[in-house]
A and B are shown apart, each in its own frame.
Chain A
């Protein structure tokens, strides 16, 4: 059980790392939000899953309730985080931020 928890946490941390790198290195607003939205959601889910498993050292009703609450948080993140990303990107699109193009003179469609 402990090994599974450790593996899940490490995976989540790797995703978080990738998210941060993407946020810092990507060239424009949209690709940055793409990295932040996807990486953040997935790594939060994985780390919450790790917490649920870590909670089950012994199985009883209290632990089950805590696990349910953590899973509810996971569901909430799964719904709210992509929506927030969508809202931010939408607002950026409407305020007229140009997507990045490799060749600035070339008109992107």
Chain B
């Protein structure tokens, strides 16, 4: 921790946050929000939370910025300036915000000091994870073992939440009939554009390497920062890159909507299925150590490691499918998106 660096990054973060709200141009707001995410990522790296920083870089700065762009491209770029709202409502909102802040500050005094070594969590739980993780699960990256094993139940429902988000986007945006698409504003099209050879070539060359890197992130999450969520997002991003530089129709050709939803289902199913497999073998839900009975050449400890790998793969498949399907649903109203 270098406090000068911390301070400057934090200042920039606050500036970015205000700029995101104040800027009238929504596209600029999306870009500034991406910068905000990257600064958060820097801050987390600096605090030593590399896994969180990785997630922020891939999800917050990467994919969500692209999704914002797609949404802006489909709707409108300008903020509708509202004539000065009612004074009473504004005062009420200010009062509500102040009151909530006050309550939070009062509640905060009951908490133990920030990162105090004397809280119950730091006294019992964290030392156990830090000292026993390698011994219990044979996974050097503590974050992965905590995420996928010690609190695997939690992570399963995180995957389910992402899956539900994808379903919600499909339910809201997807239109099967053609006749009810009328009262959306026409997307502002910069120009139809000619196919750009350079961008297409580079995107085509880079995409396999990005996918390879994503698989590495998934599989190597036991030893280095990374895991199912980040790997899945990177996999999805490689498809989105192709969709932007070519045409979303081409991606629909590779990953049809049916296949996407199927893959999302399969991903969540792999996770839950491994959990149920543990139940069937006579242990608790998601207790991977019992998997050593079915996996050849493993003892109980390696089985936990392999079980984690299995669920990470499930998470990656689900996240990839959902990211692609959200992008396609947002963009599918447009005809041709230019890099």
- A interface residues with partner B (beta carbon < 8 Å): 76, 79-80, 83, 86-87, 90-91, 94-95
Note all chain A residues with C-beta closer than 8 A to B203.
83
Contact between B191 and A95, CB atoms less than 8 A apart: yes
Given the contacts A94-B190, A95-B190, A95-B191, A83 and B198 also touching, CB distance less than 8 Å: yes
Contact between A91 and B190, CB atoms less than 8 A apart: yes
Contact between A83 and B191, CB atoms less than 8 A apart: no
The 3 A-B pairs with the shortest beta carbon distances in the complex, nearest first, are A87-B339, A83-B202, A94-B191
Note all chain B residues with C-beta closer than 8 A to A80.
202, 206
Note all chain A residues with C-beta closer than 8 A to B199.
83, 86-87, 90
- Asked whether any CB of chain A lies closer than 8 Å to the CB of B333, the reply is no
Contact between A90 and B202, CB atoms less than 8 A apart: no
Interface size on B, residues (CB 8 A): 13
> How many angstroms from the CA of A90 to the CA of B198 in the assembled complex?
11
Contact between B202 and A91, CB atoms less than 8 A apart: no
Within 8 A of A (CB), among B306-335: none
> How many angstroms from the CA of A76 to the CA of B196 in the assembled complex?
20
Q: How far is the CB of B45 from chain A (nearest CB, A)?
A: 15
Contact between B205 and A79, CB atoms less than 8 A apart: yes
> How many angstroms from the CA of A83 to the CA of B202 in the assembled complex?
7
User: What are 13 residue pairs bridging A and B, where the CB atoms are less than 8 Å apart in the complex?
Assistant: A76-B209, A79-B206, A83-B198, A83-B202, A86-B199, A87-B196, A87-B199, A90-B338, A90-B339, A91-B190, A91-B338, A94-B338, A95-B190
Identify the closest chain A residue to B205 (Cβ).
A79
Note all chain B residues with C-beta closer than 8 A to A76.
206, 209
